Amino acid sequence: MTKSVWIRGLKTAIVLAAIFGVWEYVSRAEMVNQFLFPPPTQVFTDTVAAFTDPPYRSGDGLLFQIGKSVYRAVAGWLIGVVVGVVFGVVVEWWNKPGSVAISLLEFLRPIPVILFLPVLVLVVGIGDLSRIIVIAWASFIFVAINTIFGVRTAKQSLLPDVVRSFGGTETLVLRRAVLGLAVPQIVAGARQAVGVALVLMVASELILSTDGLGWFILFMRRSLFPAEMYGAILMVGILGLIFGTLFQRLQKRILAPYLD
Amino acid sequence: MRGALRFPGFTAVAVILATWVAATATGFVNSEFIPPPHEVLRAGAEDWTNLGAATVESMWTALVGYAVGFGAAVVVGMAVGRYASVDSWVSGPLDFFRAIPAVAVVPMALLVLADSFLVGAFAVAWGCFFLAVINVIAGVKHIPDTLQDAARSFGAGEVKVLRKVGIPSLLPYFLSSLRQNVSVALIVIVVADMVVGLSGLGFYILRTQSNALFGRMYASIVLIAIIGYVAFRLLEVAQRRLFPWWSETSLT
Amino acid sequence: MVGDLVDMTTPKTSSSPAIHLKGVTKTYARRGQDEDLKIIDSLDLSFRPGELVTIVGPSGCGKSTILKMIDGLTPLTGGSITFEPSSPKPRIGFVFQDYSNALAPWKTVQKNVEFGLEIEGVASRTERAEAAARYIEMVGLEGFEKAYPRELSGGMQQRVQLARVLAFEPDVLLMDEPFGSLDAQIRRVMQEEIRRILESLDRTVLFVTHDIEESLYLGDRTVVLDHRPARVLTDFEQGERTSSYEEFVASNEFRTRYNQVWSLLQRRGDHA
């Protein structure tokens, strides 16, 4: 890591420490309602305690809820990425002008999928599947659109013709030239899908649900345990940062040959 | 195909409607859960006053949050993009809080603010702010340096440079960020309505679902979809009309 | 100093001011290093009114910085730059190399050409439009008034920038490698055209380039600068020229000059 990255990290740490420090002071000095804004140290200790020993009488702790959420997010994201790539490649590779599939995708893109959660819950039940479907659908949209653009650009490049001139079949053109060229765009789509998957993970657990991180946040607010609520909200942010970093690592490895 | 060219969603709507009608008519789906389109239309028209009131309330709340979030993003983003010293202190913490999705702060807003309008507006503002601020920062960094120098060479002071070069080159970034924010604002307001559980479109969906009034529920879903689609396309047209010179490098 | 020394006493009739650089020094702080990078070290140079001077030197020798300092876009570290007469404050026009970033993408050609007058605060629309029309014609862009910069080729964009500066009616024209990013053919056309335009203007023009051929063809006087820190290697005037580009490049005079400048830069470049 370079020096400037360290300095940046240090500055970030200083600002965050200052924010939490002020919050701690303001709360301890009772300048704000201490019940609604508990000091960060209390948020920390209560949240850590809630990992295994939640403030409600029985049931699983925060750690279990996080696991539940992560499972849904990862499963939904994976399904969305796989289906999105397959769909995008198939649709664009054999694309005819005015293709219905692409205009369908364009039309469905701005419609918030979370609207359909209440119906999904009715159809497939209140468990994991309804949440996974919602996450998968949103991830699918992002990955499919990016894949289509990636394949479209790849089709216009010279590499497909190079493969053909070497006597390659169309399947070989698709496998060796088009897919390879489309990878950076596909990865960009998968990256957007990471963010979307996390948002929908929480959103879907806030509605008609009985477990997961989103449910925990809402349940803590309803049972009036603000410290645990803040802790769980911060956990969502931390999860986001972890996923973001992990994906960045993966992206670097995948895209290494594409960068100079 | 000519019609499809003029209205890009035309074929898509036709396909969706045809599938919907076919699925319900053949009994492929349970028409109690998913009534045919005309039933949905009828149900929506029947409950027009409630549906209309819920829509107006949600849209007003979302609009206020959207404006506040975007306004704050412009101020913060311009400072961060313009001054490298501010950037190095602020962008890290911004990334930290940006990782917390707007829907996750809804319960917190509900705890602290305890008012359905404020909760919705706050959550929408949170979501729009963090999305827009990135766009604004990118925009500020893309203000052409040479053009700023040219303006200075013609005798412009810093205020004039901002007015004649900065703002005009930022405007398309603003608009494209407003466009991206439409779907965020809609998702957040619907989720907030559902969580608060008092009023608005999100609550309308939940209530009709639990009362098995599926026609009305689908009517409200279709309505939100139409609002989102129309707002998105309108801003797209505005972008093309207002900034014909602007070509967005990527559609996604 | 090698080459002919320029006689500064001969006055030339022009409404343009003379420009005097005295002990001009420019250093940049380098990140993580104690010693600053010295780009220009106490440079003395004078330009007479109405003179067309080309300044040639290797890339990164600080040629552009000199122009930016004259225009007040970059502060001096030391020394002074004065105009004679010093009042009224001379109007300075700057043509940037990076034409695609120098034009406003949201303005049509017409509005881009009016940009300088707009900044200056010329309120009358008709006055601005008339000035723009005159110079759009001069640079040969009639018919493209309503086009946006991205619809134009590089050469045409650079013409827009030129018209914009001319419409500002500057006393001094500073041109920073204006053709540096154009391809060879367009460059040739532009060189002939710029010569025609500049001759008709009778303004002090400083034209920076790293192309020796271009500097010899365009300049009444040529200043050759050394690599960092910039010092004057040679400074000479050329006689009256009536020949076309092809004739000029084939002439003995050109070949001698070219070899002289080339060997000077070459020798310095060896241990740079």
Please tell me what DSSP assigns to residue B194: H
Nearest residue of C to residue B247, measured between CA atoms: C150
Percent share of chain C, pLDDT over 70: 88
Top residue of A107, A113, A134, A224 to mutate, by most chain B CBs within 10 Å, is: A107
Q: What's the mean pLDDT when you consider all of chain C?
A: 80
Q: Which of A50-54, B100-104, C36-40, C71-75 has the lowest mean pLDDT?
A: C36-40
**Under an 8 A CB cutoff, do C102 and B244 touch?**
no
Q: Which of B52-56, B127-131, C5-9, C225-229 has the lowest mean pLDDT?
A: C5-9
B89 in reach of chain A (CB within 8 A): yes
pLDDT band at B124 (very low <50, low <70, confident <90, very high): very high
The pLDDT value recorded for residue B129 is 95
Nearest residue of B to residue A98, measured between CA atoms: B1
Closest to B154 (Cα-Cα) out of C166, C134, C131: C166
User: Which one has a higher pLDDT value, C33 or C270?
Assistant: C33
**Under an 8 A CB cutoff, do C96 and B150 touch?**
yes
pLDDT band at B6 (very low <50, low <70, confident <90, very high): very low
Residue B9 has pLDDT above 60, yes or no: yes
Residue B249 has pLDDT above 60, yes or no: no
**Under an 8 A CB cutoff, do B97 and A142 touch?**
no
- Rounded to the nearest angstrom, the minimum Cα separation between A166 and chain B is 33
Please report which residue ranges of chain B form alpha helices under DSSP H: 2-6, 10-25, 37-46, 48-82, 84-98, 102-113, 116-141, 145-153, 158-161, 167-196, 200-210, 214-242
pLDDT tens per residue across all 260 residues of chain A: 567 778 888 998 999 999 999 999 999 998 888 888 999 999 999 999 988 888 877 678 899 999 999 999 999 999 999 999 999 998 888 876 657 778 788 778 878 888 888 888 888 888 899 999 999 999 999 999 999 989 888 888 878 878 777 777 777 888 778 888 889 899 999 999 999 999 999 999 999 888 999 999 999 998 899 999 999 999 999 999 999 999 999 988 888 877 65
The pLDDT value recorded for residue C14 is 58
Q: Which of A206-220, A223-237, B139-153, C9-23 has the lowest mean pLDDT?
A: C9-23
**Under an 8 A CB cutoff, do C120 and B155 touch?**
yes
The pLDDT value recorded for residue A78 is 97
Top residue of B108, B183, B235 to mutate, by most chain A CBs within 10 Å, is: B108
Backbone angles phi, psi at A130, to 5 degrees: -60, -40
Contact between residue C103 and residue C109 where contact means Cβ atoms under 8 Å apart: no
Length, in residues, of chain B: 252
The pLDDT value recorded for residue C4 is 46
- Is the pTM higher than 0.80? The answer reads no
The pLDDT value recorded for residue A130 is 94
The pLDDT value recorded for residue B107 is 92
Give the dihedral sign, CA A56/A61/A66/A69. Answer: negative
A244 in reach of chain B (CB within 8 A): yes
Angle among Cα B205, B207, B209 to the nearest 5 degrees reads 65
Closest to B183 (Cα-Cα) out of B123, B127, B114: B127
**Which of 90-119 (B) contact A at CB < 8 A?**
90-93, 95-97, 99-108, 110-112
pLDDT band at C2 (very low <50, low <70, confident <90, very high): very low
Mean pLDDT of C198-217: 84
Q: How many CA atoms lie within 13 A of B37 on its CB side?
A: 13
**Which of 8-27 (B) contact A at CB < 8 A?**
8-13, 15-16
Residue B93 has pLDDT above 60, yes or no: yes
Contact between residue C122 and residue C154 where contact means Cβ atoms under 8 Å apart: no
User: Which one has a higher pLDDT value, A79 or C129?
Assistant: A79
CA distance B86 to A36: 31
B157 in reach of chain C (CB within 8 A): no
The pLDDT value recorded for residue C9 is 46
Q: Which of B12-16, C102-106, C265-269 has the lowest mean pLDDT?
A: C265-269
